[in-house]
Amino acid sequence: AAWEKQVRLSSTPRRTNGFSVLVTGAAGFVGSHCSLALKKRGDGVLGLDNFNNYYDPSLKRARQNLLSKHQVFIVEGDLNDGPLLTKLFDVVPFTHVLHLAAQAGVRYAMQNPQSYISSNIAGFVNLLEVAKAANPQPSIVWASSSSVYGLNTENPFAERDRTDQPASLYAATKKAGEEIAHTYNHIYGLSLTGLRFFTVYGPWGRPDMAYFFFTKDILQGKSIDIYKTHDQKEVARDFTYIDDVVKGCLGALDTAEKSTGSGGKKKGAAQLRVYNLGNTSPVPVGRLVSILEGLLSTKAKKHVITMPRNGDVPFTHANVTLAFKDFGYKPTTDLSTGLRKFVKWYISYYGIQSKTRKGSQATGESG
């Protein structure tokens, strides 16, 4: 059928020994960037996304339009749809899966806890079940999160540090993902590589994240809330620019071992790997705001809240020695440089909507 033809076309590599990658969450922020980067270097890419309305679905559609201009096709469907996933693996012999689909965000878990269980646990298991039965078995690289370090006070965080104090349900489901991955590696010999991303930002980013809605609110003259830690210190994040994260994802795919289908205990079987992908340079939220003020030439109306946001951790800070050693991961974008690129994209996408300047409308439709 026409659908099958599109699926095949999109996932067929154009370079010798190129990969055939299923990218879940391809209409998402990180997924759209990674899909484009893989396609541009000659790999075959098929996207999967359910286009849920956790945040403005028109932004996901705009990313989809961009991808389709580069011959990346996104199948609309859910991770929990077993027959659909099985069908995709029947049509395409995927060499790799880049699994980025998830219910992200820390606060939303207080409103909709089930969405985290459904996408991050049940959906992940469903994907692993289908991948384990596929022939060939793909190597899987998936998104974990810096949130697994929770209330850990080691500074910086290394992969071996404790991850038994999650501060949110989101973090708990990401941690569960790592445990689940271990079992599928151990029993079925699936090659699994987890990437702990640290607060990723950049063009085409997520409207639910602070840097994004701070930009919007500053331009619109609305006040922004700035939370403190329990001991009245500034909260800090190891903000990581999207292009650095994309390089890390591709590096992890390139060095992923082959799945063996024979169980993790056997000699030569694929190992479960987990890496930090951060920027190694935490920045206080106040500094994030002052950089945005400079780039937007507008003072923010700051509303300081003298307690932490529910589910928040006081700081994140990545040690990336392991990712550097294994695939040369080296973040190169500082926060000012990355935010400049974000703001440039934001204004070209939404137009300026400040109180003083009556610019173009933020419809979210213009790509």
Residues with a known catalytic role: 170
357 Cβ contact partners less than 8 Å away, ≥ 6 residues apart: none
**Which of ligand NAD, ligand UGA, none is residue 246 near (CB under 5 to 8 Å by kind)?**
none
3-class secondary structure, 37: helix
- When asked if residue 276 is in the footprint of ligand NAD (CB under 6 A), the reply is no
Q: Provide the greatest CA pair distance for the chain.
A: 67
- The whole-angstrom separation of Cα 344 and Cα 339 is 8
Q: Which is nearer to ligand NAD, 48 or 270 (CB)?
A: 48
Determine, following the binding rule CB under 6 A, whether residue 25 of this chain makes contact with ligand NAD: yes
Q: Which stretch binds ligand UGA (CB under 6 A): 92-100, 183-191, 192-200, 345-353?
A: 192-200
C-beta of residue 39 within 8 angstroms of C-beta of residue 246: no
161 makes contact with ligand UGA (CB under 6 A): no
Span from 1-9, 35-43, 192-200, 219-227 in contact with ligand NAD (CB under 6 A): 192-200
**Residue 20 phi, psi (nearest 5):** -120, 105
Smallest distance from ligand NAD to CB 247, Å: 15
How far apart, in whole angstroms, are the C-alpha atoms of residue 48 and residue 335?
30
Q: Which of ligand UGA, ligand NAD, none does residue 123 bind (CB under 5 to 8 Å by kind)?
A: ligand NAD
- Which of 167, 94, 101, 176 lies closest to 131, judged by CA? 94
Of the CA atoms within 13 Å of residue 360, those in its CB half-sphere come to 11
Give the residue with the Cβ less far from ligand UGA, 102 or 130. Answer: 102
Please state, in angstroms and as integers, the Cα–Cα distance from residue 26 to each residue in 77, 97, 134, 157, 250, following that order.
11, 11, 21, 28, 15
Q: Which stretch binds ligand NAD (CB under 6 A): 21-29, 85-93, 307-315, 350-358?
A: 21-29
Residues for the chain: how many in total?
A: 367
Interface stretch with ligand NAD, choices 97-105, 213-221, 263-271, 283-291 (CB under 6 A): 97-105
Residue 6, Cβ density class (10 Å: 0-12 exposed, 13-18 middle, ≥19 buried): middle
From the list ligand NAD, ligand UGA, none, partner contacted by residue 103 (C-beta under 5 to 8 A by kind) = ligand NAD
Q: Choosing among ligand UGA, ligand NAD, none, which partner's interface includes residue 43 (Cβ < 5 to 8 Å by kind)?
A: none
Nearer to ligand NAD, 35 or 139 (CB): 35
Interface with ligand NAD, residue 100, by CB under 6 A: yes
Amino acid at 126: N
How far is residue 241 from each of residues 175, 245, 294, 331, 338, measured CA to CA in Å? 23, 7, 19, 8, 6
Q: To the nearest whole angstrom, how small is the minimum distance from the Cβ of residue 360 to ligand UGA?
A: 26
Q: Report the alpha-carbon distance of residue 186 to residue 262 in Å, rounded.
A: 9
**Applying CB under 6 A, which of residues 79, 88, 209, 295 lies at the interface with ligand UGA?**
209
Instruction: Identify which of residues 89 and 212 has a Cβ nearer to ligand UGA in the complex.
Output: 212
Q: What are the residues binding ligand UGA (CB under 6 A)?
A: 104-106, 145-147, 197-199, 209-210, 225-227, 235, 237, 285, 309, 312, 316
Q: What are the residues binding ligand NAD (CB under 6 A)?
A: 25, 27-31, 48-52, 60, 78-79, 100-104, 119, 123, 143, 145-146, 197, 199-200, 206
